[in-house]
C-alpha cells in the first residue's frame, strides 16, 4: 500500500456516486483526484479508487440448511410492469446476472403498488427473459399472498385471500404458467395468514386477532408441491419469531418441510424487529434460517434523494410517485435519521449508498440483500457500491453507526 499521502486518480470509468458528497443518484461521469491523508487513516474513498481497476466478485452463501447457494445480492423485481417496461426489465436482468447475481425475487402480487390491471406483469416479464437462460443457473424465488380482503382478484373464486391449501396451489400453478417454468426454487408466504403488525406497525394489537389457517395445513400444502417437483424449498416473509417457531415446530413434529429463509425488511432505518430476537431464532445453531433482507436502502430513502423534495430524483422516486406508499420512510424522524447517516457517510469518505449497503452486507445473519432498481445505471451503482466498499466496514464506522442508532432506533416504524 502506498504511503499516507499517496494520491490516486479515478478516471471516467468510476461510478457517478463517487462524485457527490452524499452519494445522491445522478448520471454525470468525470475525473477526480482524491488525497488520502493521515487524518483520514486510509479513507475508503481512496481505497475505492485503488480498486476500481480490479475485478470485484460477489460472494455466495447457502440459504439456511437448503442446497441453494445464493449470491449476496438478490435482484428484486417489483417495479417490472409498473415503472419498467419489458425491454427495460430484460436489460436489468441480463446485467444483474452478468455481474454475478444468480437469484431474483418476484411475487404473484407484483408489481407494487398492487392493482388488478397490472398484477402478474412482473412474472410475465421474467418468464419471457427466462426463455433465453439456462434454468438451472437461476435461483427463482416467488411469494404467495397472505391474508387479504382487498386483493381477491388474484384468485379465480375467492372473496378473501388465505394461505390455505387451495390458495397456495392455485397461486403456484398460476405463477409457474406466468414464469414459463416447471418449478420454483424458493416459495415464500408473502405475509402471514394470521394478524401480525405489518409494514411499519410497531406494536401487536390483540384486538385485531383473527382465526387463521393452521401452520400444519400450510406446510402440508407445501409438502405436496415439493413432492410434485413444483417447489424446491419454502420460506416466509414479513414474519415474526412466533410464526417462525410455530412453522419449525410443526415441521419437526409432523415430519413436514422446514422453512429455510425469511424475507424481512432490514436496513439502517429498520433493525430492531430482527435484531431483538429473530436473530436468535434464525441462528445456524438454532433454526438455521437465512435472512433475505429487503429494502436495504430504506425504499431508496437512504440514497439521500428525498432530502430535497423538489429535486428531480425525489420527484421521480417511488415515495412521491405513489403517495402514501411506504411513507414511513419519508416522515420527519426518518428524514432526520437519514440526514445524520448521510453526514456519517461523508465523514468517513463513503457515499450514502455505500454506507447503507455495506452495513446490511456485513451482518452475519444476512444471507442476501434484495436490491431493486429502475434502470441499468442505478443497478450498476448499487452493485458497485456493494462490492467496492471495504469489507467489513471499519470499526470506527460501525462505532459511529451504533452511536447514531442509540438516538434513532427504527425511525421508519410508525
pLDDT digits (tens, 9 = 90+) for 334-345: 999 999 999 999
Task: For residues 272-286, give the mean pLDDT.
Answer: 96
Q: Is the predicted pLDDT of residue 3 greater than 90, yes or no?
A: no
Report d(CA 106, CA 90) in Å as an integer.
14
Task: For residues 41-45, give the mean pLDDT.
Answer: 45
Q: Is the predicted pLDDT of residue 266 greater than 60, yes or no?
A: yes
Q: Is the predicted pLDDT of residue 121 greater than 90, yes or no?
A: yes
Kindly tell me the sign of the dihedral angle through the C-alpha atoms of 244, 165, 370, 150: negative
Confidence of residue 15 (pLDDT cuts 50, 70, 90): very low
Task: For residues 292-317, give the mean pLDDT.
Answer: 88
What pLDDT, on a 0 to 100 scale, did the predictor assign at position 325? 67
Among 72-76, 121-125, 200-204, the minimum mean pLDDT is found in 200-204
Q: Is the predicted pLDDT of residue 17 greater than 90, yes or no?
A: no
Residue pair 329/337 in contact (Cβ under 8 Å)? The answer is no
Q: Is the predicted pLDDT of residue 24 greater than 50, yes or no?
A: no
Report d(CA 6, CA 2) in Å as an integer.
6
Confidence of residue 33 (pLDDT cuts 50, 70, 90): very low
Report d(CA 191, CA 263) in Å as an integer.
10
What pLDDT, on a 0 to 100 scale, did the predictor assign at position 95? 98
65: helix, strand or coil = coil
From 110, 266, 294, 341, the catalytic residue: 110
Q: Is the predicted pLDDT of residue 36 greater than 70, yes or no?
A: no
Q: Is the predicted pLDDT of residue 194 greater than 70, yes or no?
A: yes
What pLDDT, on a 0 to 100 scale, did the predictor assign at position 201? 82
Domains and CATH numbers, the chain: 7-51 (no CATH), 60-407 (3.20.20.100)
For the chain, the average pLDDT equals 88
pLDDT per position as a tens digit, 150-185? 999 999 999 999 999 999 999 999 999 999 999 999
Full-prediction pTM beyond 0.75?
A: yes
Give burial (CB, 10 Å; 0-12/13-18/19+) of 165: middle
Residue pair 290/64 in contact (Cβ under 8 Å)? The answer is yes
Let me know if 95 is a catalytic residue.
no
What pLDDT, on a 0 to 100 scale, did the predictor assign at position 247? 99
Amino acid at each position: 500500500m502506498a504511503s499516507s499521502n499517496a494520491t490516486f486518480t479515478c478516471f471516467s470509468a468510476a461510478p457517478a456516486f463517487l462524485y457527490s458528497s452524499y452519494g445522491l443518484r445522478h448520471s454525470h461521469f468525470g475525473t477526480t483526484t482524491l488525497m488520502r491523508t493521515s487524518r483520514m487513516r486510509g479513507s475508503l474513498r481512496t481505497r475505492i479508487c485503488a480498486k476500481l481497476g480490479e475485478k470485484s466478485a460477489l460472494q455466495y452463501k447457502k440459504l439456511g440448511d437448503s442446497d441453494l447457494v445464493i449470491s449476496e445480492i438478490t435482484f428484486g423485481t417489483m417495479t417490472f410492469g409498473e415503472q419498467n417496461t419489458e425491454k427495460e426489465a430484460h436489460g436489468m436482468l441480463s446485467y444483474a446476472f452478468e455481474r454475478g447475481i444468480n437469484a431474483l425475487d418476484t411475487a404473484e402480487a407484483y408489481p407494487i403498488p398492487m392493482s388488478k390491471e397490472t398484477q402478474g406483469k412482473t412474472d410475465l416479464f421474467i418468464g419471457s427473459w427466462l426463455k433465453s437462460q439456462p434454468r438451472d443457473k437461476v435461483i427463482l424465488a416467488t411469494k404467495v399472498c397472505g391474508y387479504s380482503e382487498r386483493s381477491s382478484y388474484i384468485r379465480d373464486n375467492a372473496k378473501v385471500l388465505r394461505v390455505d391449501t387451495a390458495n397456495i396451489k392455485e397461486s403456484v400453478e398460476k405463477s409457474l404458467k406466468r414464469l414459463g417454468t416447471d418449478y420454483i426454487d424458493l416459495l415464500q408466504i408473502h405475509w402471514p395468514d394470521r394478524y401480525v403488525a405489518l409494514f411499519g406497525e410497531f406494536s401487536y394489537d390483540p384486538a385485531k386477532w383473527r382465526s387463521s389457517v393452521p401452520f400444519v395445513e400450510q406446510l402440508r400444502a407445501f409438502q405436496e408441491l415439493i413432492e410434485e417437483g413444483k417447489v424446491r424449498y419454502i420460506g416466509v416473509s414479513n414474519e415474526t419469531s412466533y410464526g417462525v417457531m410455530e412453522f419449525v415446530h410443526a415441521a419437526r413434529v409432523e415430519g413436514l418441510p422446514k422453512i429455510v429463509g425469511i424475507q424481512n425488511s432490514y436496513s439502517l432505518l429498520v433493525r430492531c424487529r430482527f435484531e431483538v430476537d429473530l436473530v436468535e431464532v434464525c441462528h445456524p445453531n438454532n433454526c438455521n434460517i437465512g435472512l433475505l433482507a429487503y429494502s436495504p436502502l430504506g425504499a431508496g430513502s437512504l440514497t439521500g434523494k428525498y432530502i430535497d423534495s423538489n429535486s428531480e430524483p425525489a420527484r421521480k422516486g417511488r415515495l412521491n410517485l405513489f403517495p402514501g406508499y411506504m411513507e414511513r420512510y419519508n416522515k420527519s424522524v426518518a428524514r432526520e435519521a437519514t440526514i445524520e447517516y448521510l453526514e456519517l457517510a461523508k465523514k468517513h469518505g463513503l457515499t450514502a449508498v455505500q454506507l447503507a449497503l455495506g452495513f446490511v452486507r456485513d451482518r452475519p445473519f444476512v444471507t442476501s440483500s434484495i436490491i431493486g432498481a429502475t434502470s441499468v445505471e442505478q443497478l450498476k451503482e448499487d452493485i458497485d457500491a456493494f462490492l467496492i466498499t471495504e469489507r467489513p466496514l471499519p470499526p470506527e464506522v460501525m462505532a459511529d453507526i451504533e452511536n447514531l442508532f442509540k438516538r434513532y432506533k427504527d425511525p421508519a416504524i410508525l
